[in-house]
Each structure stands twice: as structure tokens, then as C-alpha cells.
Amino acid sequence: MSDTTKRMEEALKKHDMGYNCAQAVSCVFCDKVGIDEETMFRITEGMGLGMGGMEGTCGAIGAASILSGLKNSSAHLDSPDSKKISYQMSRQCLSNFKNQNGSLICKDIKGVETGNVLRSCNDCIADAVKIIDETLFSPL
């Protein structure tokens, strides 16, 4: 079983335990970004349900922005110099997810207004883990 598949399965288990989509995805990458799971869980709690209410970005792929910053930031507080790469990597993850699933917006993916469900939460979680792993953490 590949590392990506293991992370996908672990993220789905976490979601089944009650983690929101952003927490489930982000927490399976704690080892890659040097942050403990409790802190990651707390950081990403408000990102669930489409950033707190289905009107915003799907939390599963929104996790890519948090993870991109944690992976790429130089943390040079006096002279920030790493935003460009963090933005580029985050944008790539979001673009890949949108191309695959038709939207980035939770309510659109869930078909709240149209009745046309594009993807289930579990599928979004699995997609996000795969995209994030391949885009942010796989060697070129």
C-alpha cells in the first residue's frame, strides 16, 4: 500500500471519528510539516463546512493552504520572503482539485442549491490528500 493510500485511509478514519474535512486532511500530514496533531486540529477547526458555513472553500482542499505555508514558509518575520512559493503551491493544489471536482465551493460540491452533488465529503477528502501529497510532498 502506498504512502498516499495510507494517508487517504487515515484521513477517512479521522473524518469518521468526527474531525471536519480540513482537520482530517491536515492532520495526516503533521509528520511532514513538523507540527503536533492537537495543534493542527485546533488550527484547522474553523475551516470545516466550507470555512464555517458551506459558502466558502471546501475544507478538505482548503487544508492545502495551511500545509503549503507550514511546508514552505521561511518564517523570516522581519523580511517575509517565501510567500510566492507558498501561494504557488497552494494555488496548484486548489486548481487541481477544482479541475477534478468542478468547484472549490462546499455548497456547490454538495449540490445545496442545485441538487446536483459533485462529490461526497469522503471523496473530497481522498482527492485532497492525493493532490496535496503529490503536489506538496512528492519529490519532483
String of DSSP letters for 37-70: HHHHHHHHGGGHHHHHTSSSB-HHHHHHHHHHHH
State the amino acid at position 140 in one-letter form. Answer: L
Range of lowest pLDDT (23-32, 53-62, 69-78): 53-62
pLDDT in tens, 98-134: 999 999 999 999 999 999 999 999 999 999 999 999 9
Closest CA to 128 of 107, 108, 109: 109
Grid cell at residue 92: 496548484
Average pLDDT over residues 8-17: 98
pLDDT at 55 over 90: no
Grid cell at residue 43: 488550527
Phi and psi at residue 21, to the nearest 5°: -60, -40
pLDDT in tens, 59-105: 999 999 999 999 999 999 999 999 999 999 999 999 999 999 999 99
pLDDT at 52 over 70: yes
Q: Count of residues for the chain?
A: 140
Q: What is the extent of the structural domain holding 114?
A: 3-137
Comparing 48 with 7, which gets the higher pLDDT? 7
Residue 42 pLDDT: 97
Tally Cβ neighbours within 10 Å of residue 55.
Answer: 13
Comparing 15 with 50, which gets the higher pLDDT? 15
pLDDT at 140 over 70: no
Number of domains in the chain: 1
Contact 111, 118 (CB under 8 A): yes
